[in-house]
């Protein structure tokens, strides 16, 4: 049974016969009945745990015989303002024995109550349906690293819970994005990953996390093991260092439980899709100190894209150790193998999309084989009722081998060759090791009238990346990474016979190793952040981080034209070696002001910044490396819990300015003539501005109904550039997104357990291709002829999904129809990765609870 209880259930507890109607409040709130006056007050703080030592959330803590009370937070802690003098606290939780504790409350001071352990009750209760007890504005998130409610956070946060993920039968992250306005897919380059963006900025591996640890987003993560998906919008640099300005995404996997349980399921769908899934958990033996969980799945499918196939295996084991009543150790493993056909889409000629949904342009034998293995250990110890320490260590290994044709771009020269594409081969091998260590200390205390929720932490991580590229040994440009010709086809007419070049590769085996790039990025950071509570209504979040980053890379060249000395294995380093080194550091401040005129309403304004280091090869006019670009972010918003918490509605407006955007120094610049570096010198003189509005709406279940809705507007454009038109939009970012999901569950009657739902998701117009340029970067002068760069307008689209589910006893069945209107649009990168979205598809999941 869930430990999150609706307030109504508390009235049936044993002590309820002597209590007046209960009015619960939240942490940091003064919870006296406003009609009761007392001459003096103090406060009591404490923590409640269950019999197995786990924190007890949403436990009722009441002053006996009054309406003064509160409920415990996710970590079991509570803080209650109450009249001075002797008081009796009744601590109650459904299924556990109620405890009464006598406290002597000092005037204008705090009394600390020793940790309270609740014992299980022998009383048997009839079946009770438990619904969510907290709104999205009340439940703390792990992505914020602080034990505070989102209502107290001057930043937009969205959490998508497990129930929603299951109702929508989420298969990929893109399926879950329909619940988060302003988070969108920017492209699906190669069809092997989903590249995300928010507020005009791309999420890379730096911005994507699993259980608080970065993961390589070169592979599509598994969603069947997710407990929730957390999105922290806007700046997160103070917590995570070098992250893009749009926000961060954290995937939270399912955790071990001491009660025995689990499920087995089979999902089938269109295009030969099938996927068995198993999830089991429980205590190890009969131990009350060690629990486990194991999620695993296998997936195989064809595709609406001709000749595209996929094959995946996933396993996610975890162990929870109760080392002491105050200390837990959680060890989590994660392994994913993903083999699929690389697919760079349907192609474009002269920035015009070639209409098709299924045409496939890759070569026989193309394969993208990826595996990712990770392990994470998290130690959490409550030092006392004020302080808690959390230490995380993580390791991840990522391997990828890509064998594919190059990205399709046809000739734009008018004549017989118009649309011809020299289809080349590319082959790369990438291996990456990632290490992380992180230590956080959090405390909740007062200094006089001022309340503190303090976070002090440090982290360090390291990427060791090795990338090997292949080329044609017979090519005169074999020292470059250019792909080598396999054949020539015409993108406008695949049946047209085209003359083939004399020099052609027969297959991937003809390619030789060419360039080996070894990077070893090392980062470290120290940060402190404090939520200052001046009163129940006025708060401030202040913080500062210092980050350090090294980005050395070494480049080795194999078998260049000028130096071929094959050894026994046929390969040898050519003796060409290049080193690149960068050392960067940056400060990331944060200031947020929160005003809460009501306990269920928060108005906030904040400033923060993030930083973006430059590439190793970037240098200024004097040949010196450029410092990181610093990006300023401003955000204002309102968060509301309406109708007694039944509905949460949040509105956020933001402005993000990179006023030192990197751009080229043009040859027409007077400084260029006397510069010591005339090889593409750069400077921090451009500006890009992102601005927009986001609306998030979520309800708790009410009479069987549940709603999720949202809207976002964004405009990201050049606002100061020496090449591009000021005001021209940056690519890949939709101007508008909107979403609405409505679910209804029958809670009584013969069809009890029947759930029906519909989801609508709108993505507005986007731009791909390349931004047209005012000047020729090579000479800084207007183009003699028109600039060859052009935009591609990506059509907007509206997706409708419908689902139906039924559970009876241990059995369940869910069916889903996606893209009911069979809308056609594209995810694009430049003009050479044009990937159509999926057509109308069907899926069904059969499940059995163990």
pLDDT digits (tens, 9 = 90+) for 351-375: 999 989 999 999 999 999 999 999 9
Question: Lowest-confidence range among 53-62, 312-321, 380-389?
Answer: 53-62
Pair 147, 106 in one domain: no
Contact 616, 581 (CB under 8 A): yes
Mean pLDDT within 134-149: 88
Banded model confidence at residue 608, pLDDT cuts 50, 70, 90: very high
pLDDT of residue 787 exceeding 90, the answer is no
pLDDT of residue 114 exceeding 70, the answer is yes
Pair 302, 245 in one domain: no
Mean pLDDT within 253-282: 96
pLDDT of residue 335 exceeding 50, the answer is yes
Banded model confidence at residue 568, pLDDT cuts 50, 70, 90: very low
The strand ranges marked E within 665-735 are: 682-699, 705-720
> What pLDDT score does 77 carry?
82
* C-alpha torsion angle, residues 33, 34, 37, 38 (rounded to 10): 60
Pair 363, 466 in one domain: yes
Q: Let me know if residue 638 belongs to a domain.
A: yes
Q: The domain spanning residue 86 has which CATH number? A: 2.60.40.10
pLDDT of residue 3 exceeding 50, the answer is no
Q: What are residue 578's phi and psi, to 5 degrees?
A: -135, 130
Pair 266, 247 in one domain: no
Question: Lowest-confidence range among 86-95, 555-564, 663-672?
Answer: 555-564
If we measure between CA atoms, which residue out of 845, 846, 848 comes closest to residue 168?
845
Mean pLDDT within 335-361: 94
Give residue 146's Cα distance to chain centre: 18
Helix and strand element counts for the chain (H, E) = 5, 47
Q: How far apart are CA 526 and CA 706, in angstroms?
A: 41
Q: Which of 64, 82, 117 is the last residue of a domain?
A: 117
> What pLDDT score does 122 carry?
58
Q: The domain spanning residue 804 has which CATH number? A: 2.40.170.20
pLDDT of residue 564 exceeding 70, the answer is no
Pair 631, 723 in one domain: yes
Pair 440, 333 in one domain: yes
> What pLDDT score does 59 carry?
86
> What pLDDT score does 23 carry?
34
Q: How far apart are CA 115 and CA 51, in angstroms?
A: 12
The strand ranges marked E within 534-572 are: 538-550, 553-558
Q: How far apart are CA 747 and CA 751, in angstroms?
A: 8
> What pLDDT score does 800 carry?
96
> What pLDDT score does 36 carry?
41
> What pLDDT score does 478 carry?
45
Q: Which of 195, 226, 253 is the last residue of a domain?
A: 253
Pair 505, 593 in one domain: yes
Mean pLDDT within 85-97: 85
Contact 694, 200 (CB under 8 A): no
pLDDT of residue 569 exceeding 50, the answer is no
Cβ-count burial 61-86 (b if 16+ within 10 Å, e if not): bbbbebbbbbbbbbbbbbbbbbbbee
Contact 567, 574 (CB under 8 A): no
- Each residue's pLDDT tens digit, 414-460: 889 999 999 999 999 999 999 999 999 999 999 988 999 999 999 99
> What pLDDT score does 109 carry?
82
Q: Which domain holds residue 228?
A: 142-253
- Each residue's pLDDT tens digit, 678-706: 888 999 999 999 999 999 999 998 889 99
* H/E stretch holding 237: helix 237-240
The DSSP symbol for 823 reads -
Mean pLDDT within 380-405: 94
> What pLDDT score does 476 carry?
47
Mean pLDDT within 178-192: 92
* H/E stretch holding 167: helix 162-167
> What pLDDT score does 549 carry?
94
Q: The domain spanning residue 210 has which CATH number? A: 2.170.130.10
Pair 203, 315 in one domain: no
Mean pLDDT within 140-149: 90
Domain count, the chain: 3
Question: Lowest-confidence range among 51-60, 118-127, 496-505, 599-608?
Answer: 118-127
pLDDT of residue 232 exceeding 50, the answer is yes
> In the predicted model, what is the mean pLDDT of the chain?
87
Q: How far apart are CA 389 and CA 592, in angstroms?
A: 25
Higher pLDDT, 569 or 834: 834
Question: Lowest-confidence range among 68-72, 443-447, 712-716, 823-827?
Answer: 68-72
> What pLDDT score does 10 carry?
34
Pair 84, 170 in one domain: no
pLDDT of residue 185 exceeding 60, the answer is yes
Pair 810, 766 in one domain: yes
Banded model confidence at residue 504, pLDDT cuts 50, 70, 90: confident
> What pLDDT score does 673 carry?
87
Q: How far apart are CA 813 and CA 847, in angstroms?
A: 6
Pair 218, 325 in one domain: no
Q: How far apart are CA 157 and CA 618, in angstroms?
A: 35
Q: Let me know if residue 137 belongs to a domain.
A: no
- Each residue's pLDDT tens digit, 286-299: 888 999 999 999 99
Give residue 24's Cα distance to chain centre: 33
Banded model confidence at residue 709, pLDDT cuts 50, 70, 90: very high
* C-alpha torsion angle, residues 302, 305, 306, 310 (rounded to 10): -30
Q: Let me know if residue 150 belongs to a domain.
A: yes
Structure tokens at 398: 């990522």
> What pLDDT score does 133 carry?
61
pLDDT of residue 471 exceeding 90, the answer is no
Higher pLDDT, 484 or 315: 315
Q: Let me know if residue 187 belongs to a domain.
A: yes
Banded model confidence at residue 666, pLDDT cuts 50, 70, 90: very high
Pair 390, 452 in one domain: yes
Q: Let me know if residue 574 belongs to a domain.
A: yes
Banded model confidence at residue 630, pLDDT cuts 50, 70, 90: very high
Q: Let me know if residue 725 belongs to a domain.
A: yes
If we measure between CA atoms, which residue out of 282, 240, 280 comes closest to residue 258?
282
> What pLDDT score does 70 carry?
85
Q: Which of 253, 269, 298 is the last residue of a domain?
A: 253
Q: Let me know if residue 329 belongs to a domain.
A: yes
* H/E stretch holding 672: helix 670-673
């Amino acid at each position: 049974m869930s430990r999150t209880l609706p307030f109504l259930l508390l009235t049936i507890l044993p002590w309820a016969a002597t209590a007046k109607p209960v009015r619960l409040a939240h942490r940091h709130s003064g919870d006296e009945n406003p009609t009761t006056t007392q001459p003096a007050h103090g406060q009591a703080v404490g923590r409640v745990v269950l019999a197995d030592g786990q924190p007890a959330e949403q436990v009722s803590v009441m002053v006996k015989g009054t309406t003064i009370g509160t409920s415990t937070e996710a970590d079991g802690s509570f803080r209650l303002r109450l009249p001075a003098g002797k008081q009796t606290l009744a601590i109650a939780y459904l299924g556990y024995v109620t405890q009464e504790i006598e406290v002597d409350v000092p005037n204008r001071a705090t009394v600390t109550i020793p940790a309270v352990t609740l014992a299980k009750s022998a009383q048997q209760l009839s079946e009770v349906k438990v619904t969510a007890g907290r709104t999205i504005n009340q439940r703390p998130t792990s992505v914020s690293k602080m034990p505070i409610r989102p209502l107290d956070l001057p930043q937009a946060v969205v959490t998508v819970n497990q129930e929603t993920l299951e109702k929508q039968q989420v298969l990929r992250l893109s399926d879950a994005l329909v619940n988060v306005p302003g988070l969108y897919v920017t492209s699906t380059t190669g069809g092997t990953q989903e590249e995300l963006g928010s507020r005009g900025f791309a999420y890379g591996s730096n911005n994507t996390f699993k259980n608080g640890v970065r993961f390589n987003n070169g592979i599509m993560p598994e969603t069947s093991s997710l407990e929730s998906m957390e999105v922290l919008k806007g700046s997160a640099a103070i917590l995570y260092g070098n992250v893009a300005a749009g926000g961060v995404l954290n995937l939270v996997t399912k955790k071990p439980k001491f009660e025995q349980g689990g499920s087995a399921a089979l999902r089938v769908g269109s295009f030969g899709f099938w996927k068995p899934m198993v999830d089991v958990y429980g205590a190890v033996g009969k131990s009350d100190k060690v629990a486990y969980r194991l999620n695993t799945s296998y997936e195989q499918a064809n595709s609406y894209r001709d000749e595209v196939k996929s094959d995946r295996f996933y396993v996610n084991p975890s162990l929870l150790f109760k080392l002491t009543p105050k200390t837990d150790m959680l060890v989590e493993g994660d392994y994913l193998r993903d083999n699929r056909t690389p697919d760079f889409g349907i192609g474009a000629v002269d920035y015009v999309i070639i209409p098709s949904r299924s045409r496939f342009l890759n070569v026989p034998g193309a394969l993208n084989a990826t595996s990712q293995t990770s392990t994470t250990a998290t130690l959490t110890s409550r030092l006392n009722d004020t302080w808690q320490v959390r230490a995380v260590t993580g390791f991840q290994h990522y391997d990828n081998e890509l064998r594919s044709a190059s990205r399709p771009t046809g000739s734009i020269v008018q004549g017989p060759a118009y649309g011809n594409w020299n289809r080349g081969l590319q082959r790369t091998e990438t291996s990456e090791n990632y290490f992380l260590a992180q230590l956080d200390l959090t405390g909740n205390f007062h200094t006089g009238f001022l309340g503190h929720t303090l976070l002090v932490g440090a982290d360090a991580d390291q990427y060791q990346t090795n990338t090997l590229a292949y080329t044609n040994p017979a090519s005169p440009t074999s020292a470059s990474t250019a792909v080598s010709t396999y054949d020539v086809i015409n993108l406008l007419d695949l049946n047209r016979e085209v003359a083939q070049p004399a020099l052609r590769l027969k297959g991937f085996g003809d390619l030789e190793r060419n360039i080996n790039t070894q990077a070893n990025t090392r980062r470290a950071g120290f940060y402190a952040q404090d939520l200052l509570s001046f009163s129940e209504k006025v708060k401030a979040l202040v913080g500062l981080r210092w980050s350090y980053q090294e980005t050395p890379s070494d480049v080795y060249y194999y078998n260049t034209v000028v130096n071929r000395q094959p050894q026994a294995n046929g390969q040898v380093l050519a003796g060409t070696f290049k080193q690149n080194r960068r050392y960067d550091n940056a400060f990331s401040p944060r200031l947020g002001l929160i005003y809460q005129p009501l306990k269920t309403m928060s108005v906030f304004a904040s400033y923060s910044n993030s930083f973006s280091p430059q590439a190793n090869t970037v240098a200024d006019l004097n040949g010196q490396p450029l410092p990181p670009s610093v990006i300023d972010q401003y955000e204002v918003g309102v968060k509301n819990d309406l109708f007694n918490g039944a509905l949460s509605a949040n509105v956020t407006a933001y402005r993000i300015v990179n006023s030192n955007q990197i751009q080229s120094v043009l040859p027409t610049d007077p400084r260029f003539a006397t510069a010591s570096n005339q090889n593409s010198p750069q400077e921090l003189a451009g500006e890009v501005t992102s601005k927009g509005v986001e609306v998030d709406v979520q309800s708790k279940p009410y009479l069987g109904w549940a709603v999720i809705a949202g809207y976002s507007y964004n405009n990201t454009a050049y606002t100061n550039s020496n090449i591009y038109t000021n005001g021209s939009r940056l690519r890949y970012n939709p101007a508008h997104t909107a979403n609405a999901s409505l679910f209804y569950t029958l809670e009584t009657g013969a069809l009890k357990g029947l759930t029906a739902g519909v989801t609508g998701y709108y993505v507005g117009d986007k731009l791909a291709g390349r931004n047209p340029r005012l000047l020729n970067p090579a000479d800084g002068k207007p183009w003699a002829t028109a600039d060859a760069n052009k935009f591609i307008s990506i059509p907007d689209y509206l997706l409708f999904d419908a689902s139906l589910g039924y559970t009876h006893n241990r059995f369940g069945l869910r069916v889903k129809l996606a893209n009911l209107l069979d809308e056609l649009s594209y995810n694009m990168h430049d003009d050479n990765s044009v990937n159509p979205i999926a057509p109308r598809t069907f899926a069904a999941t059969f499940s059995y609870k163990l």
